[in-house]
Structure 1
Amino acid sequence: MRASRLLSILTTLQARGQASARALAEDCGVSLRTIYRDVEALSGAGIPIYSERGNQGGYRLLDGYRTRLNGMSAQEAESLFLGGLSGQAAELGLDGVCASARDKLLAALPAEVRTGAGRLRFYLDAPGWFEASERPDCLPRLARAVWDERPVRVVYRSWSAEKERVLEPLGIVLKGAAWYLVARTGGSVRTYRVSRIRELELLDGQVEHAAGFDLQAWWLESARRFEQEQHPEQAMLRLSPWGFKMMEAFLPPYAVAHATIAEPGPDGWRSVTLPVGPLCHAPFDLLRFGAELEVIGPGSLRAEMARIAAQLAKTYTLPA
């Protein structure tokens, strides 16, 4: 949404000639600090914007400067609408803002480009098959806290207990069907699943901007570490031709991506080495293959597979 906000600042200054930081903050529904950073970003991008001091001061564009969108190709204009994120924007409480930004952008485009620009050609359906989207009731208020850079007090249900925490929101991430809050607490940055927030209260005050913090880079690195931590063991397997075909369907993407696969033997079976979860979890992923998979090592995993298989055989043995 920052792109639409920057465009709104430009069009406002172009229409009014001058506007104070406070007026821009009220129009955009953000904090003064956010407006200061946005103006700095516009200036850094080469927009001739400058400030005038005093009671009647504010931000102005260099006389004669006009924002121009008529140099945009039809394909470039269409790409601005390819997100198909209207549903996710509504969950964040931003559906009205997105619609307003879309209308403003369409109005500014040349007539020959405008016709096809708003046509939806790509749609993002984030949840996987047979998954339902999480729609936490607190999500719009949490999004407002992120926009306004305000701290929040939450009651959060972890795996073990409910705890009260004061958090400094840094961003929100949609991963598959679940929303996550990235926030600072006690000097460290952590991730919280929004659906586990039982209570949420917006607090007074301002979150200090984390210098150099990049939400996307932080999330990607955090996700990489999490996947690595969830697959601490290496398993040596043999897979039948059918089992090999079903690897992507039955195993986590991380395990498949880091697998070492040998050429098939005379019987068509392949030796595969890949990362798996801890001993208490790994057998349940591997048992999905039935008799189309054999665990070669480590011995502890093979023994656990044998124990579970024996218990299953006992359970399903037909009476004589």
Structure 2
Amino acid sequence: MSVRTIYRDIDALAASGVPVYADRGAEGGYRLLDGYRVRLNGLSQNEAEALFLTGLPGPAAALGLDAAMIAAQNKLMAALPANLRADAGRMQERFHLDAPGWFGEAEEPKHLRTIAGAALRGTLIKIRYQSWRAEKQRRVAPLGLVLKGGGWYLAGQVDGSVRTYRVARVLDCTALDERFDRPADFDLAAYWQAATLRLEAEMHPNVAIVRLSPFGVKLLDALSQPYVRARTQIEDAADADGWRIARVPTGKTSWHAAAELLRLGPEAEVLEPADLREKMAELTQAMAARYRAARKA
């Protein structure tokens, strides 16, 4: 780097408002004014919070921060130097993040904004929640919200333990004035990753031995959930017709497992366990009888 380049860069910094100054002497040079920090002035609290949702207009709107997000983006864009402003504009024009999964509508939970507000304030909420088994009431410390596949999930602390609640199943929610102490070691991203892996394992605790046709192998890959797809083991060896043996993670009950494997139609044959094979035979026979009766009618 030449001396001329250094002088040019120093002049550019000074012109943009950065307080650099020359310090003469044997140990002199250019210095930054003590205590200087880069600041973006004019952001409101809502706009600062909405910065973390930049590029996610749908979730920002669900949280009531869509207008704040747009205002924050505009202020950020105005604060950038002209050359960087053009680059940022190109990024916005060429990349788009679509959070919800395919073939489903994004949820719009009724009480999402109330829960989000309590999470930001660090105050308790009282909820009436519809679980799989029963309706329950809880006083919850809302530690954080997660958006996954178009659905919102609450990581909430109840009686000292952290649990996951689907926000769409919250029937009523009351924001309380009582504050709670957030666990110092709680990391939302780490908690969610562990909770997701645990749930996927709990949903598929069993293994089925299945014969798959060549097309069945493709169907299994196309229709399976990522957890199942990643843990399915398919033997390399094939029989004379190209069928191969696979070990496929399945659901807790034979009903759950059969519902997943029936999607493969005649391209799969369950070999083990025996109760699942019997359930598959029972269901396919009942389906065949129903269709035969309908055809005769």
Please state which band the TM-score falls in when normalised by the shorter chain. Answer: 0.7 to 0.9
- AA at the equivalent of 1:134: E
Q: Which has the larger radius of gyration?
A: 2
Structure 2 residue aligned with 1:271, among 232, 237, 245?
A: 245
Shift of residue 183 of structure 1? 0.5
CA contact (8 A) 1:82 1:123 kept: no
Corresponding residue for 2:77? 106
1:222 to 190, 195, 209: 195
Query: Is the aligned partner of 1:299 residue 2:270?
Result: no
Q: What is the DSSP-based 3-state SS (H/G/I as helix, E as strand, rest coil) of the residue aligned with 2:144?
A: strand
TM-superposed deviation, 1:86: 1.2
Matches within 5 A, 1:226-237: 226-237=199-210
Partner of 2:55: 84
Contact 1:82–1:122 (Cα < 8 Å) also in 2: no
Q: Secondary structure at the match of 1:268?
A: coil
Q: Percent identity?
A: 48
Paired residue secondary structure (2:264): helix
1:266, CA displacement in angstroms?
2.6
Q: CA deviation at 1:81?
A: 9.6
Kindly state the Cα deviation for residue 214 of structure 1 after the two structures are TM-superposed: 0.5
Task: Report how far residue 115 of structure 1 moved.
Answer: 2.0
Q: TM-score of the superposition, structure 1-length normalised?
A: 0.73
Q: 1:115 aligns with which of 86, 101, 118?
A: 86
Q: What whole-Å deviation, never above 9, does each CA across 1:124-149 have from its counterpart, x for those lacking one?
A: 22222210000012111211111111
Q: Tell me if 1:309 matches 2:280.
A: no
Which of these residues, 245, 258, 261, is aligned with residue 231 of structure 2?
258
Question: Distance in 2 between the 1:289 and 1:219 partners?
Answer: 31
Alignment of 1:170-185 (within 5 A): 170-185=143-158
Q: Which amino acid aligns with 1:152?
A: I
My pick for the range that moved more, 104-113 or 131-140, is 104-113
1:279-290 matches, cutoff 5 A: 279-290=254-265
Structure 1 runs, 4 residues or longer, greater than 6 Å off: none
Counterparts of 1:82 and 1:164, CA distance in 2: 31
What whole-Å deviation, never above 9, does each CA across 1:242-270 have from its counterpart, x for those lacking one? Answer: 11111122222211100111123331111
In the alignment, the residues of structure 2 paired with residue 252 and residue 147 of structure 1 have an alpha-carbon distance, to the nearest angstrom, of: 33
Contact 1:83–1:123 (Cα < 8 Å) also in 2? no
- Whole-angstrom distance in 2 between the partners of 1:182 and 1:66: 35
Would you say the 8 A contact 1:239–1:292 is kept in 2? yes
Residue 308 of structure 1, CA deviation = 0.9
Structure 1 vs Structure 2 CA RMSD = 2.2
What secondary structure is seen at the aligned counterpart in 2 of 1:174? strand
Three-state SS of the structure 2 residue aligned to 1:114 is: helix
Residue 105 of structure 1: how far off its partner (Å): 1.9
SS in 2 for 1:151: strand
Partner of 1:151: 124
The TM-score normalised by the length of structure 2 is 0.79
Secondary structure of the corresponding residue to residue 288 of structure 2: helix
Counterpart of 2:27 in structure 1 is: none
Which residue of the partner structure matches residue 100 of structure 2?
Answer: 127
Spell out the pairing of 1:195-206 with structure 2 (5 A cutoff): 195-206=168-179
Contact 1:93 1:143 in 2 (8 A): no
Instruction: State the Cα distance separating 1:179 from its structure 2 match.
Output: 0.4
Distance 1:81 1:300 in 2: 50
| CA–CA distance in structure 1, aligned partners of residues 207 and 224 of structure 2 | 14
Q: Judging by fraction of residues, say which structure has more strand.
A: 2
1:58 alignment counterpart: none
In structure 2, how many angstroms separate the alpha carbons of the residues matched to 1:115 and 1:251?
A: 42
5+ residue gaps in structure 1? 1-61, 70-79
Name the CA shift for 1:184/1:81 in 2 (closer, same or farther; >3 Å): closer
Please say if residues 119 and 142 of structure 2, whose CA atoms lie closer than 8 Å, have aligned partners that are also in contact: yes
Q: Give the total of aligned pairs.
A: 250
Contact map agreement 1:238 1:296 (CA 8 A) in 2? yes
Runs of 5+ consecutive residues of structure 2 not aligned to the other structure: 1-32, 41-50
Please state how far the C-alpha of 1:118 moved relative to its aligned partner.
3.4
Q: 1:96 Cα deviation (Å)?
A: 2.6
In structure 1, how many angstroms separate the alpha carbons of the residues matched to 2:273 and 2:194? Answer: 29
C-alpha contact (below 8 Å) 2:146/2:153 kept by paired residues: yes
1:81 and 1:118 in contact (8 A); partners too: no
Q: Distance in 2 between the 1:84 and 1:245 partners? A: 35
- Would you say the 8 A contact 2:56–2:97 is kept in 1? yes
